[in-house]
Amino acid sequence: MRYGTTTATAAILMALVSAAPLTAGAADPKAETTTQEAKTMVSDSWVTSKTKISLFADERVKGTQVSVDTAKGVVHLRGKVDSAEAKSAAGAIAQGVDGVKSVKNDLQVVAPAGRKAVDARDSDIAKAVGTRLAKDSQLKKVDVRTDAGMVTLTGEVPTIGASAKASEMARGVSGVKSVKNELTFTR
């Protein structure tokens, strides 16, 4: 009889141990959120890869001229292309990729003859903006990217005030045509 009781106890313990991970995960909304974030990251990476491959495969666009980023299904195209047709084609190609919710087409049209001068000028502008922001302790970690005089600020800052200050400081640099502020706030 003792053998039967031990077997029954072991069976009950096995059932509880097997069910524990299921009930623990179901009761923990943080685990569900983390899982969803991981799925979104993998999905975004996959969309970025598929978009890059599609751009390289299309004759209308030089894939090396286009930078692709994806966040929550929104594809962001940046870089300099040779013509308005190439810019339009890149946007259409990206929109046609499975999993793309929308496309932000920030491609700049720069004729091949003027590309070298624009690229050199952009690097000077980015360096000047970066140097100016580095002087402020709240803005040292801001990333600066420049395309045809359009400055894009990315990264994290502590407050909305610091974000506004970064935009204002960038606008004050010679050669800056516009500033796109994509800074996020730490809490």
pLDDT at 1: 46
Give the gyration radius of the chain's Cα atoms: 25
pLDDT at 121: 87
Point out the residues of the chain with pLDDT beneath 50.
1-4, 22-25
Query: Same domain, yes or no, for 181 and 116?
Result: yes
Residues near 135 by Cβ (< 8 Å), separated by ≥ 6? none
pLDDT at 111: 81
Looking up tokens 């053998």, which residue turns up?
3
> pLDDT by residue (tens digit) across 112-167?
877 777 777 888 999 999 999 999 999 989 999 998 788 999 999 999 999 999 99
pLDDT at 186: 75
Helices (H), 58-136: 84-95, 112-134
**CATH for 99:** 3.30.1340
Phi and psi based region of residue 81 (left: phi greater than 0; alpha: psi -120 to 50; beta: remaining): beta
Identify whether 171 is part of a domain: yes
Identify whether 157 is part of a domain: yes
Q: Is the pTM of this model over 0.75?
A: no
How far apart (Å, rounded) are the C-alpha atoms in residues 51 and 49? Answer: 5
Identify whether 29 is part of a domain: no
Query: Same domain, yes or no, for 126 and 152?
Result: yes
pLDDT at 115: 74
Name the residue range of residue 87's domain. Answer: 38-109
